[in-house]
Structure 1
Amino acid sequence: MDLLSQIVARAKSNKQRIVLPEATEERTLRAADRVLAEDMADIVLIGNPNEIKQLAAQWGLNSVDKATIIDPENNPKSEEYATLLAELRKKKGMTIEQARELVKNPLYLGCMIIKTEGADGQISGALSTTGDTLRPALQIIKCAPGVSCVSGGLLLISKQKEYGEDGVLVVGDVAVTPMPNANELAQIAVCTAQTARSVAGFTDPRVAMLSFSTKGSAKHEVVDKVVEATKLAHELDPELKLDGELQADAALVPSVAAKKAPGSDIAGKANVLVFPNLEVGNIGYKLVQRLGDAIAIGPILQGIARPVNDLSRGCSVDDIYYMVAITACQAMDAKANK
């Protein structure tokens, strides 16, 4: 069974409630129909019920009627949500009138449903920007305990089976924090390892903190940051298997590791890679994807107390379907660690 099939199987084994706030968007509704037909998750659709039902009929989607549909313009819980939102944001000066308008926004409404335990995760981005997706999540659901920065993890599936876990690597950050400091980089390392466990199913994450230096082979302040982040990550999670600073070849290739980092328990065996900044991460994974013909799945948002994931506006129905499964796996993990 390939990795994506394993993720779907885990989602089906413990159904979670996933909000799709862009419910009248065609790819989103088609993905919801597939999820519901396969009984992979319980789906909450946000939008006008009549419009959703008409579109489902037009596109021949027979399972959409299994979803819970919430109309943001006629929601019996609107005042309850507005009161809570105003309370959450009162230090920022939000009035009840502003909150009443915001809870009609599907992205805010979805996060309020999660906040009040009506759902376990949310996915948007087929129509919305990353900023629009993240803003309500950070204002309402907030970061997980001990985390102050959100990051983007990614599953890289390579045909080179000798690397990672049978060709699977989990990497981060590739999407959110442009220039993390040492403390933020340490958090990204811990969160990416958690994604490796909850989504990729790794029982033994082995984290390499990447740099252009291996164990002091070069001197520079950006190397110092990775060294400090490695120390801080050990303090955040003393049980986590992690080492740095390591060059990418030393992290992945046993023969190189033996020369550059002898005695390291991680070098040559890493299955989780943490990039020193977003520029390196984003460029690096796209080069591997295009030149190395690897499959890239994500970004998977990390560090939010309950999973809220972002899609590319060019996403496919399959992308949304699999992101539902990934979000469900994250939700199970969030509950287990609550």
Structure 2
Amino acid sequence: MGFLQQLAQRAESAGRRIILAEGHDERVQDAAVRLQDHGHIEPILLTPDCTVGPPPGWKGPIRCPVDDPELPRYADFYRQIRPQEALDDRTARERVADPLYFAGLMVRAGDADGVVAGADHATGDVVRAAYRCVGTSPGHSYVTGAFYMVVPSFRGTDEPEVLTFADSGVIPNPSPEQLVEIALQAAEMRSVVVGDVPHVAFLSFSTHGSARSPAAEKMRKAFELLKDKRPDLAADGELQADAALIRQVGQRKAPSSPVAGQANVLIFPDLGAGNIAYKLVERLAGATAIGPILHGLALPYNDLSRGADPASIEWVAYVTAVQAGS
């Protein structure tokens, strides 16, 4: 059984309520109906537009926060968890009427188990709402993002392979210290979502000093920091992508590396590299891109590409359910 089928089964076992916060978007509506019909999770639709009716085949309500009877309760709750904003009641209600915030507060209050949004919002809007409503998990200073790329088999396996691309969605130009956080979060969440052993590669255009530049040195320093912090984690850097992924190349370029040729968590030097890489692999190699999955949050709240189709939204919802059940 392949990863995608296992993911759907694990989501069903978790039995979670997942909010799709952009119920006015036709792609989100289509995904909600698919999720409802497949029965693996319980989807909840929110919309900012109270005139939006249910999509064909939808059996539940569409909640509109502006007119929702729970709005006053969630507004009070928001003021309690965000006292530093010093919002009056009216301003709090206006803030919470935004489905991104309403959804996050539903999860924070225990009225739902996870959120999926971003089909019609920029990543910054989604991350800001998630950070304010559910907060970061203990021990994590940053929210980071990753894509789970289900790619055609290229290392002799019978099934497609799953690679984690991080950070491909949130931090534009991470420092070595932030790269360590990105790597640790990606490795930790991969163990939850995929269930295998993470092998982390800090990617560069250089392998073990084959080229000298500040950009390559940044990745080398990030690896050294990670090694000091988590010597038990299989990791290496800096590595070129072919050395990280292809065993024969890795043996030639980095014969002493513990991960060369078997990396499954790819850490990119900046958001530009990570974002471009995932889109190229998705569009040219026919990969399934699931994400951005947000790491470092206290509760599951995940982003979408604005180019997402209904199937992509469905897969992110399943990952969100698996996170909630972990």
Q: Does the alignment reach a TM-score above 0.5?
A: yes
**Pairs within 5 Å for 1:21-60:** 21-47=21-47, 54-56=53-55, 59=56
Query: How many residue pairs are counted as aligned between the two chains?
Result: 325
> Counterpart of 2:169?
175
Task: Give yes or no for the alignment of 1:303 onto 2:296.
Answer: yes
1:193 is matched with which residue?
Answer: 187
Conserved? CA contact 1:49–1:70, under 8 Å: no
Cross-structure match for 1:16? 16
Gaps of 5+ in 2: none
Task: Give the drift of 1:36.
Answer: 1.9
Amino acid at match of 2:40: M
TM-score normalized by the length of structure 2: 0.89
Query: Is 1:210–1:247's contact at 8 Å kept on the other side of the alignment?
Result: yes
Match of 1:73, SS state, is: helix
Residue 146 in structure 1 maps to residue 145 in structure 2: no
Task: Say whether the 8 Å CA contact 2:50–2:67 is kept in structure 1.
Answer: no
Partner residue in 2 for 1:336: none
Superposed CA deviations along residues 225-254 of structure 1, whole A, max 9, x for unmatched, are: 212222333355443221111111221222
178-187 or 146-155, larger mean C-alpha shift: 146-155
1:213 corresponds, among 206, 216, 233, to 206
C-alpha displacement at 1:166, in angstroms? 5.1
Task: Please report the TM-score for the alignment, with normalisation by the length of structure 1.
Answer: 0.87
Q: How does 1:214-233 map to 2 (within 5 A)?
A: 214-233=207-226
3-state SS in 2 of match to 1:280: helix
Contact 1:230–1:245, Cα closer than 8 Å, also in 2: yes
Whichever residue aligns with residue 43 of structure 1, its letter is: P
CA shift for structure 1 position 35: 1.4
**CA gap 1:70/1:236 in 2 versus in 1, 3 angstroms:** farther
Whole-angstrom CA distance in 2 between matches of 1:163 and 1:331: 33
Where structure 1 has 5 or more consecutive residues not aligned to the other structure, the ranges are: 334-338
Structure 1 residue 95 corresponds to structure 2 residue 88: yes
Bigger Cα displacement from structure 2, 273-282 vs 37-46: 37-46
Are the aligned partners of 2:148 and 2:164 in contact in 1 as well (CA < 8 Å)? yes
Structure 2 CA distance for aligned equivalents of residues 253 and 155 of structure 1 = 19
Distance 1:283 1:23, change over 3 A: closer
RMSD of aligned alpha carbons: 2.5
Query: 8 Å contact 2:146–2:295 — kept in the other structure?
Result: yes
**Contact in 2 for aligned 1:300/1:309 (Cα 8 Å):** yes
Contact 2:123 2:169 in 1 (8 A): no
8 Å CA contact 1:24–1:55 kept in 2: the answer is no
Q: CA contact under 8 A between 1:150 and 1:304: conserved in structure 2? A: yes
